[in-house]
Amino acid sequence: MARRSVTTLLLVVVSARSTALAAGPPPCGKPCRQNPTITGRCFTFRGRMNYWNGRPSVRIWRVGTKRILGVSEQTDQNKGFCDLPSEIAGKLSWETDLFADFTVCPFTEEKPGEMQVVCVQSAAHMVVRKSAR
């Protein structure tokens, strides 16, 4: 009897997880540019977004520069605001790079030798490629 209960429970859990995955990522809240902790104007550039070890794990290289921007990770101060829209996050994986024209809003000032922390408002002209790493 206990074995049957465990099997039934596992089927329920797997089914619920499959349903949640099929629905896609949940909406993430108010747009990035409305966050009151933004420190400057939002700006647009061509970049390559991918996952990295460490924090923040999502980073964007500004094409043609040596600059790396870190995408803020839902902290308490950003609660209720979208740091990375689900339609963009859904295109990321550890095996791919996402090239796009990103519009980001800064949480920190740009300083030489330091990663600037941003949230992503939008991305246009998205192209997913297999990572060269």
Bridge-based pairing state of the strands 116-130 and 68-71: parallel
pTM of the model: 0.76
In this prediction, residues 95-116 reach a mean pLDDT of 95
Average pLDDT, the chain: 82
Note whether residue 85 is domain-resident: yes
Note down the domain range covering 87: 26-130
Task: Decide: helix, strand or coil at residue 93.
Answer: coil
> What digits encode the pLDDT tens for the residues 38-85?
999 999 999 999 999 999 999 999 999 999 999 998 665 567 888 999
Q: Which residue has the higher pLDDT, 19 or 41?
A: 41
Note whether residue 7 is domain-resident: no
Euclidean distance between CA atoms 57 and 123, whole angstroms: 18
Q: Are 28 and 82 in contact (CB under 8 A)?
A: yes
Note whether residue 20 is domain-resident: no
Q: Which amino acid is at 75?
A: T
Note whether residue 18 is domain-resident: no
Is pLDDT at 14 greater than 50 in this prediction?
no
The pair of three-digit structure tokens given for residue 62, joined into one six-digit string:
């500004």
pLDDT recorded at residue 2:
53
29-33, 41-45, 92-96, 119-123, range with the lowest pLDDT: 29-33
Note whether residue 62 is domain-resident: yes
Note whether residue 11 is domain-resident: no
Task: Please count the structural domains in the chain.
Answer: 1
Note whether residue 3 is domain-resident: no
Note whether residue 6 is domain-resident: no
For residue 118, list its beta bridge partners: 71, 106
